[in-house]
Chains A and B, each alone.
Chain A
Amino acid sequence: MARTRKRDLTVEEQLARGPLDLPFLMLVVMLTVIGVIMVFSASYPTAINEGKSATNYFVRQAGFGAAGLAVMYFISKINYQRFRWMSVGVLAVSILLLVAVLIPGIHTERDDGVRRWIAVPGIGTFQPSEIAKVGVIMYFSARLSKRGSEKPPRISRRSRWKGPYYLLKHAGFFELVPYGAILLVIVLLMRLEPHMSGTILILAGAAAVLFAAGIHMGWFVAGGGLLLILLLGMMAGYQSTRILVWRDPWDYYATGESYQIIQSLYTIGSGGLLGVGLGKGRQKFLFLPEPENDFIFPVICEELGLVGACVILFLFALLVLRGYWIAIHARDRFGALLTVGVTTLLAVQVVLNVAVVTNLLPTTGISLPFFSYGGTALMIQLAEMGMVLSVSRQIPAAKQG
């Protein structure tokens, strides 16, 4: 099929062929490359210990990285306006997957009974919650970008619910009902897995989109308060040990409960200012659990030192700032909200991961974007970046003069 000539395109189609945001792209590529290298350094002792080739994890991660970058480029080529209608499908699929993962036979069997992963032959495993994150952000952005046209439900003037109705209407309650319902379903489904860290991230992404869209601040205060109460309630159970361990890990070293976080602190502390050198870390030799995964950042700290760790954090910060910059300059409200959601999700994930490994927060399983080993997660991550790049293509060129 012959390529359509430019003058035959609609304005939107012309804009979708605009240039990618180069700084954002460069940052993503850099972080992906560094991440893959760090996976190699962090994973080879584990690989050897598991009787695999030392490069086993590295090769896989590099493959997914390359594929992910290709996917990202492909997605960036899509006119993001199409994401508006796609979002419904993505959300629906992710909810279906969240249900499916609970069904025996579909989720992977684990000793601890946690049902988070679905195995895909040839690729490995993936978490439906990763897709749910994207789905929620896409759907919320799409719907919220058309906020103004939504009509609240009507009610008879004589109804005795008239009072509360106007109160709720005034507070914007009816507008929030669908979002709340979706989140409630997802939270409940993920509670069954269980998957707290994933829940937190989905809520964070959703909240960011809602927040940017201009939802009344009161709802966030209320939602935050509710979450806090829920969290405190949950802490009464097994989570409470987690809190105690967090507050004084040295006390629990002997019992083994704080082994992971103490090892993480050892690893980070060993690095000093300049680190022991790339590949020369010692803690990954079966001292630090999951050095190639959630705890890859300590390995970076050990091998590259404070300087290296700060450089990585700086790159993340730049990527996040550039993401918001794209959001601000986005052509329309949907692009802006979509970018805010993806960017905030990324920022929260980075900050939570680093905060956990440095024991600023109690341990919870949050991976580090671009770094943690996991092919599907990396690909989904890069796909999200592709969506941001797609938005960046349609940024109107600065006006002359």
Chain B
Amino acid sequence: MKSDKKRQTGRGAANLVILKRTLFLMAVCGVLLFIPLVVRLYQLQIVQHQELESRAIDQQTWDKEVIADRGTIYDANGNVLAMSAEAYYIQLSPHEIEQRQEEYRKQVEEANQAETPEEREALMPKYDEPTNESIAQNLAEMLDLDAESILTRLGRTDSWSEVIKTQVESDQADLVRAYAKENGLSAGIYVLPSSKRYYPYGSLAAQIIGWVNYNDGNRGAYGLEALYDEELSGQTGRIVTAKDGTGKQLLYRYEDYEDAVDGMDLHLTLDATIQSYCERVLSEGIEKFEAQDGGFVLAMDPNTGAILGWANSPSYDLNEPRTISDPNLSAQLQEILSDTTLTDEEKSAQQTNLLYQQWSNKALNQTYEPGSTFKTVVLAAALEEGVVSENDTFTCTGSVMVDGYPQPIRCSDRDGHGTQNLARAVANSCNPAFIAIGQRLGTSTFYDYLEDFGFLSQTGVDLQGEPSAPNYNLIWPRDSFTHVDLAVASFGQRLQVTPLQLITAAAAVINGGHLMQPYVVESITDADGNVVQHTEPTEVRQVISEKTSERCRTILEQVVIPPGTGQQAYVAGYRIGGKTGSSETLEDDHTIVSFLGFAPANDPKVIVLIAYDNPKPTGPNSNYTSGMYYISGGNMAAPQAAELIPDILDYMGVAKQYTDEEKANMDVAVPNVIGMTLEAATTKLTDSGLEVRTVGEGATVTDQTPLTGVAIPGGSEVILYLGEEKPTDRVTVPNVQGMNRDQAEAALANVGLYLKSTGLTVGSDVRAESQAIAAGTEVERGTVVEVHFIQSTASGGAGSGL
């Protein structure tokens, strides 16, 4: 143990140093050095976790979009108004194309080094070198593009994605795909699926449906497409697959699949048939009345607020939203393009402006002075408040002075309507009478009704671009609503409303007093057809009582019965009620003529508002157009309503109701009397309200004119042939245009033809506007010629608020 002892004595101070220093190393290497590591790991794995993870995932995954089908838009009957179909877009990857080109050159090089010609042949690529120039040239030809611009984009060799064309149809896409395959460019030129929007009805309800902007990620740009974009577009799905660091797909490491959720479908209250009626009436009228700024036609179910038809002009084809097709706008476009004083920027700005005009929903985005159509609302308020009754009389001297206004306010009839009861005052659209009615209501109550009928708020319709309300630039604020304002407001002037506000308020007047919230979308269904959202008719408030509403309907029906201002809207059997209007604008000789109509008067099923903007007068201060139409709602919009409302009611299957007087004037279908005795035949015909003329001497009827089933006016003569041969010669149709009805009937009867009158069939103050069979045509005897009559004199005039 000697050595041990020696060692122990050697310890002491030296060993203490070792111990101390080892303890120091222990603290440093065993504890202290690990602390920054843990802190750093915490920082990376917890604090920066999401950032780093997402970057890592970005590089680890292929993220491929799965495009969701955009929902379909249907009309009330399930007709497709807007649908999506498959289309493609062409994407180049200049980076990969460059690689392909290098591979091609390499392959050629290898082939050239081959020893035998056979081998060289086998190694040589089977296609020409895909140079940028040849690719650009070929693609440009296939896709109708500019080769130069493709070439430029091919030059960006660090890019992986250059989309050169979207919305490519499948036949073109197939061409491109085949080209890419044949030239070894399948990895370089990509044909990728997307979708394209089709609008089968073209321009039908263009401003309501709107369109999808391909340049903006297929998002809805206008109309319902924009408003319901979220519902329609659905959820883009993704396929996420893992890849390794070299970009190879790791199929066995399947990561994520997110189904694309197809968009929902919209079911509109709009009916394509009613809509087409509205558009036809609108475009016909615009042409006939030379309406320079278009117009609009609204059709609504007054009881629910459901919009049935909504036509705007100018309009456009939804499939080509950037093309101007409206005749008026096209003319303006030509003017702009040929104007040499404009710079290119100005031209394009003005062109864009025209596009905005055709895209805008005139009847919602713009306001106008409602004019006399507004009297319906004033009437309802006065009746509800009990300040007037049907027995009250109003005396009109042609003008009236209002306190606080220096000039007399004139009526349309400069000579005055004389003394009239309430119904006549409405039918005459008498301004002094309505000023008196307004004054009886007083400013405060009148203003209450402005609010109650919704003129100071938005209607809440589910469409884009309803102006915010109240807008005191359009309607006076309550505290500055004076007596003079009241006077002009009573006949619908100096206040601006949207057409939709007006028709909604008018619907409340006639539907029993319920102000409804108008709507276009009936329901939204998901891709499986489950109803996701259904619009229930929403009553905003009850404005007037059922009783008052009924009284209004009775009075408004009188407007349409001759000699009311709306008499041209009269059609026997349909019980149309309404109110004409001619609105002033700030421009000279710019009138908006309108007619607010509903039917049947006893139980309204539809309410329409027809307006033509700016019919072209023959000259300054002229009240006539070149077609000799008097510029007024009664002479322009009302007769169009007479076409529209019966069409709609017939389509809806609403039963006709005839008054006794109407029945008497109705056409009669000629019964078959051939083979009968003269006596029996005569009895049968006179029972049907027809008269008899005989030709020949026999006792039995051998032939008749007209033949059975032909409808002729009651009281017309039926010719019975008693053994005599029926003449088979043809007669020439005379020109009856400009004649009144008696003259026309006589002229036709003269050559053995029958008259069937349409248009303004009652009243005497009419002229034939057109005849169904042109003058000079040879027809069989007994043929019925349909002649359309209109009023020959002015019923209300421009600037008089009628």
Q: B200 contacts the other chain (Cβ, under 8 Å)?
A: no
List residues of A (304-329) whose CB comes within 8 Å of B's CBs. 305-306, 309-310, 313, 316-317, 320-321, 324-325, 327-328
Question: Is the beta-carbon distance between B10 and A211 smaller than 8 angstroms?
Answer: no
Query: Contact at A306–B42, with CB atoms within 8 Å?
Result: yes
B242 touches A285 (CB 8 A): yes
Chain A nearest CB: distance from B33 CB in Å?
A: 4
**Which residues on the B side are within 8 Å of A266 (C-beta)?**
52-53, 55-56, 59
| Interface residue? B246 (CB, 8 A) | yes
What 0/1 pattern do residues 15 to 39 of B give for CB contact below 8 A with A? 1011101110110011101101110
Partner of B49, one of A272, A324, A354: A272
Residue of B18, B48, B245 touching A287 (CB-CB under 8 A): B245
Query: When the two chains form their complex, are residues A360 and B244 in contact, meaning their CB atoms are under 8 A apart?
Result: no
Contact indicator A360/B40 (Cβ below 8 Å): yes
User: Interface residues of B toward A: which range?
Assistant: 35 or more
Is B41 an interface residue when CB atoms closer than 8 A count as contact? yes
Cβ of B251 under 8 Å from chain A: no
- Cβ proximity bits A336-354 to B, threshold 8 Å, 1 near / 0 not: 1100100110011001001
Could you say which of B44, B49, B250 has the most chain A C-beta atoms within 10 Å of its C-beta? B44
- In the bound complex, what is the Cα–Cα distance between A309 and B37 (angstroms)? 10
Question: What's the least CB distance linking B57 to chain A, in Å?
Answer: 8
B46 CB-CB contact with A under 8 Å: yes
Please state if A328 and B19 are interface contacts (CB–CB under 8 Å).
yes
Q: Is the CB of A269 within 8 A of B18?
A: no
Q: Are A286 and B245 in contact (CB under 8 A)?
A: yes
Q: Is A185 an interface residue (CB 8 A)?
A: no
Interface residues of B in 244-291 (CB under 8 A from A): 244-246, 250, 253
Q: Does B14 belong to the interface (CB within 8 Å)? A: yes
- For residue B141, CB closer than 8 A to chain A, the reply is no
Q: In the complex, which residues of chain B have a beta carbon less than 8 angstroms from the beta carbon of A269? A: 44-45, 48-49, 51-53, 55-56
Complex Cα gap A324–B49 (Å): 35
Please give, as numbers and ranges, the residues of chain B lying within 8 Å of A267 by CB-CB distance.
56
Residue A147 lies at the interface, judged by CB distance under 8 Å to chain B: yes
A16 vs chain B, min Cβ distance (A): 15
A272 vs B50: C-alpha distance when bound (angstroms): 8
Within 8 A of B (CB), among A262-283: 265-273, 282-283
A340 touches B22 (CB 8 A): yes
Size band of the A side of the interface? 35 or more
For residue B7, which residue of chain A has the nearest CB?
A: A332
Q: Report the bound CA distance from A254 to B120 in whole Å.
A: 41
Most interface-central of B14, B22, B52 (chain A CB within 10 A) = B22
Decide if B49 touches A213 in the complex (CB within 8 Å): no
Q: Is B244's CB under 8 angstroms from A287's CB?
A: yes
Contact partners of A287 in chain B: CB under 8 A: 56, 59-60, 244-245
Bound complex: CA A287 to CA B56 (Å): 9
A214 within 8 Å of B (CB atoms): yes
Residues of B within 8 A of A283 (CB): 56, 60
Pairs A–B under 8 Å by Cβ, sample size 11: A213-B18, A265-B44, A266-B56, A268-B41, A269-B52, A305-B45, A310-B38, A317-B30, A332-B7, A358-B40, A360-B36
Binding site for A on B (CB under 8 A): 4, 7, 10, 14-15, 17-19, 21-23, 25-26, 29-31, 33-34, 36-38, 40-42, 44-46, 48-49, 51-53, 55-57, 59-60, 242-246, 250, 253
Q: Which 8 A-B pairs have the closest CB atoms?
A: A269-B52, A286-B245, A347-B29, A324-B26, A285-B244, A266-B56, A214-B17, A287-B245
Besides A285-B244, A287-B59, 18 more A-B contacts (Cβ < 8 Å) are A211-B25, A212-B25, A268-B45, A269-B53, A273-B45, A283-B60, A285-B250, A286-B246, A306-B41, A306-B45, A310-B38, A310-B41, A313-B37, A324-B25, A347-B33, A354-B41, A358-B37, A358-B41
